[in-house]
């Protein structure tokens, strides 16, 4: 089956996720309205500016509907800003920023520094074969705490941020500090799409 996976199309690198999902044999659709959210099997929250996306979720009337879908078990994948939005607690953000609490974790916004501190590295990523994942970090967050129900999938292997958590999964919700949509390596997207496909296969009609 081809799961219908929405890409939250309010701000950020929407197109790159759209193409990656299509290459993984999903049916990607842009989501800007509650009716479009209601029609998808899962949702991707792209990188961008987390506080801007947070504000736009309220403006477009999507904040509470999205929280409700996540509470009901909708799978989701957030990269960079998407990880920040999916956290239950965010450090170094604006007081009015909203979070979705899709994963029980504490995330520090812009933890790796400013745009000039962007970097790439290779990560061992739990559950993925065929070698390390090339990870691109752009004004990225890191995870400072994970709850008992969350699974750490990747950590920074070396350097000043050695050991910092940069990929987490809880149930059907996946989050990465980095941008797998920009490298051409589809393994993280394929992991997510496969998990959505498996969930849909066993879900009662």
Annotated binding-site ranges: 48-50, 109, 138-139
Alpha-carbon 6 to chain mean position: 12
Name the phi and psi angles at 184, rounded to 5: 85, -10
Give yes or no: 19 in active site.
Answer: no
CA–CA separation, 15 and 17 (whole Å)? 6
- For tokens 């736009």, what's the residue? 56
Of the listed 16, 17, 24, 181, which one is catalytic?
181
- Enter the tokens of residue 18: 């759209």
Of the listed 16, 17, 24, 179, which one is catalytic?
179
Give yes or no: 17 in active site.
Answer: no
The binding site for L-glutamine comprises 48-50, 109, 138-139
Give yes or no: 24 in active site.
Answer: no
Q: Going by DSSP bridges, is the β-strand pair 4-8/42-45 parallel, antiparallel, or unpaired?
A: parallel
Helix (H, G, I), strand (E, B) or coil at 191: helix
**Residue numbers annotated as active site:** 80, 179, 181
């Amino acid at each position: 089956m081809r799961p219908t996976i929405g890409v939250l199309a309010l701000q950020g690198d929407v197109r790159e996720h759209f193409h990656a999902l299509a290459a993984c044999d999903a049916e990607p659709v842009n989501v800007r309205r509650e009716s479009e959210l209601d029609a998808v099997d899962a949702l991707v929250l792209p990188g961008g500016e987390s506080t801007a996306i947070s504000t736009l979720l309220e403006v477009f009337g999507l904040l509470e509907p999205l929280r409700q879908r996540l509470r009901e078990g909708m799978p989701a994948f957030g990269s960079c800003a998407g990880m920040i939005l999916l956290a239950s607690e965010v450090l170094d953000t604006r007081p009015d920023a909203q979070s979705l609490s899709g994963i029980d974790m504490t995330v520090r916004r812009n933890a790796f520094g400013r745009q000039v501190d962007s970097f790439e590295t290779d990560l061992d990523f739990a559950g993925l074969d065929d070698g390390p994942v090339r990870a691109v970090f752009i004004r990225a967050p890191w995870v400072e705490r994970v709850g008992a129900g969350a699974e750490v999938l990747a950590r920074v292997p070396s350097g000043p941020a050695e050991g910092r958590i940069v990929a987490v999964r809880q149930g059907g919700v996946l989050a990465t500090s980095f941008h797998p949509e920009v490298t051409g390596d589809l393994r993280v997207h394929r992991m997510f799409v496969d998990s959505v496909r498996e969930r849909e296969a066993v879900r009662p009609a």
